[in-house]
């Protein structure tokens, strides 16, 4: 079957179904122009840079469900043109038989489900309107800004909605976004031993108008073996990085940006190398609190008394704890002696933190003692310190 016949079949299919697309509009369609539209695409495209500058624009992602689940632009609506299986078939055809056969197969698959596709797209448009946005201001994309997004843009046009295409698609968003993370900025790392209340301090600084990027919040993890949240699963590394890209792009890099001291891996997600290199070189403010107060804070803040969960946490670092300390931690958990359990675990984490401090060197490290975890005696002091050490 020729491509023109397939396109004609698609149009007749829509008319025979009596769907919401205007029949008069379809009968006047120049089939050659439809084919040209799918092959070359329209000129009304939006660059990734412009997309990032307008974070309130609605994004419609037409990639397959598994692609979307792996990672997507935060807030995007998934309206897949193909299922995962259909995408695999078209991709295999492209590799084995070439572009023309892949286009023909894609149109044949779409022809059989155009009514449901149009319905899905109309529901997405309805969601845009419900959220107070303009459907014609929505951005549509696939992996590289190719055939899938152009086909859905064409279908949107038949519904009376003119979408913008994201230039280069999701692949370009990832490339440009990760490059942005390497742009120099005034970064400060707030570090300190486990239980010092770093996250609480950063939350207070954010409420005071400071720029804070909460890596643990984006990762849905507290950054230690205690760290998973019972009610939240971690995102994929790709999605974590996408959320980070949007946060980063919304920051004023001429002003101080605060981060909490983390290892490059938070739970199972990874801070991208582009940002990690900056964080390792950034000045650090290290806050410290007396051990007993940190233990009390941990018992209150983490709140878990699940023996199994705590034994599992200790088991994950068994080799690094050493046999005696590991056995002491397990015995304490089984007896419900949470104070001693925390003391044993903090012994390991404190050792880890102080080793990391040695690598920083005195010119990048600024110490600050606080009396109570998560509570600054004078917030303006740490803000002034951050401004001073990032201005040189």
Catalytic residue check, 51: no
Q: Indicate if 148 and 206 belong to the same structural domain.
A: no
Q: CA 164 to CA 187: how far, in whole Å?
A: 35
Q: Indicate if 200 and 327 belong to the same structural domain.
A: yes
Q: Indicate if 275 and 300 belong to the same structural domain.
A: yes
DSSP assignment of 224-262 equals: STT-B-TT-PPPPHHHHHHHHHHHHHTS-TTSEEEEE--
Q: Indicate if 243 and 348 belong to the same structural domain.
A: yes
Q: Indicate if 254 and 232 belong to the same structural domain.
A: yes
Q: Indicate if 193 and 56 belong to the same structural domain.
A: no
Containing domain of residue 293, as a range? Answer: 183-389
Q: Indicate if 208 and 286 belong to the same structural domain.
A: yes
Q: What is the pLDDT of residue 303?
A: 53
Q: What is the pLDDT of residue 309?
A: 76
Q: Indicate if 344 and 234 belong to the same structural domain.
A: yes
Q: What total number of domains does the chain contain?
A: 2
Q: Indicate if 16 and 159 belong to the same structural domain.
A: yes
Q: Indicate if 249 and 153 belong to the same structural domain.
A: no
Q: Which of 15, 97, 142, 342 is catalytic?
A: 142
Q: Which of 134, 150, 176 is the last residue of a domain?
A: 176
CATH code for position 334: 3.40.50.300
Q: What is the pLDDT of residue 25?
A: 42
Helix locations, the chain, DSSP H: 3-17, 23-27, 31-40, 48-53, 65-70, 84-97, 99-111, 114-130, 147-158, 169-180, 198-207, 215-219, 237-249, 273-281, 291-301, 307-316, 318-321, 323-335, 338-360, 379-389
Q: Indicate if 209 and 316 belong to the same structural domain.
A: yes
The one-digit pLDDT tens for each residue of the chain (392 residues) are 444 444 444 444 444 444 444 333 434 444 455 556 666 666 678 999 998 888 888 899 999 999 999 999 999 999 999 999 999 999 899 889 988 888 778 878 877 787 788 888 888 888 877 777 677 678 999 999 888 898 888 888 878 888 899 999 999 999 999 999 999 999 999 998 888 999 999 999 999 999 999 999 999 987 665 555 556 789 999 999 999 999 999 999 999 999 998 889 998 999 999 999 999 999 999 998 999 999 888 888 665 567 877 888 788 888 878 888 889 888 888 888 888 888 888 887 787 777 766 666 556 788 899 999 999 989 999 999 999 999 96
CATH code for position 164: 3.40.250.10
Exposed/middle/buried for 82, CB within 10 Å: 0-12, 13-18, 19+?
A: buried
pTM for the predicted model, two decimal places: 0.83
């Amino acid at each position: 079957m020729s491509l023109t016949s397939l396109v004609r079949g698609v149009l007749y299919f829509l008319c025979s179904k009596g769907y919401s697309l205007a029949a008069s509009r379809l009968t006047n369609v120049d089939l050659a122009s439809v084919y040209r539209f799918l092959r070359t695409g329209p000129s009304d495209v939006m660059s990734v840079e412009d997309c990032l500058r307008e974070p309130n624009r609605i994004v419609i992602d037409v990639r397959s469900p598994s692609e979307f689940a792996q990672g997507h632009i935060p807030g995007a609506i998934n309206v897949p043109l193909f299922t995962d299986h259909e995408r695999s078939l078209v991709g295999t055809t492209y590799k084995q038989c070439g572009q023309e056969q892949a286009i023909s197969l894609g149109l044949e698959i779409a022809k059989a489900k155009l009514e449901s596709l149009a319905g899905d797209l109309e529901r997405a448009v309805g969601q845009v309107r419900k959220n107070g946005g303009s459907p014609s201001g929505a951005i549509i994309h696939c992996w590289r800004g190719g055939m899938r997004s152009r086909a859905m843009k064409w279908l949107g046009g038949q519904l009376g909605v003119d979408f913008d295409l994201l230039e280069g698609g999701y692949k370009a968003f990832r490339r440009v976004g990760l490059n942005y993370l390497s742009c120099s900025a005034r970064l400060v790392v707030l570090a300190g031993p486990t239980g010092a209340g770093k996250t609480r301090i950063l939350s207070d600084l954010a409420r005071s108008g400071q720029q804070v990027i909460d890596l643990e919040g984006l990762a849905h993890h507290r950054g230690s073996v205690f760290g998973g949240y019972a009610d939240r699963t971690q995102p994929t590394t790709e999605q974590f990085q996408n959320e980070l890209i949007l946060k980063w792009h919304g920051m004023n890099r001429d002003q101080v940006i605060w981060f909490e001291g983390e290892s490059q891996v938070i739970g199972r997600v990874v801070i991208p190398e582009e940002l990690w290199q900056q964080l390792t070189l950034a000045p650090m403010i290290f806050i410290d609190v007396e051990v007993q107060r940190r233990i009390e804070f941990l018992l209150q803040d983490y709140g878990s008394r699940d023996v199994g969960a705590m034994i599992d946490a200790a088991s994950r670092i068994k080799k690094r704890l050493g046999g005696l300390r590991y056995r002491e931690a397990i015995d304490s958990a089984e007896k419900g002696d949470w104070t001693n359990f925390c003391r044993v675990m903090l012994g390991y984490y404190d050792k880890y933190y102080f080793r990391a401090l040695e690598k920083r060197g005195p010119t990048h490290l600024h110490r600050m003692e606080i009396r109570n975890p998560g509570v600054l005696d004078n917030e303006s002091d740490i803000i002034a310190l951050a401004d001073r050490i990032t201005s040189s």
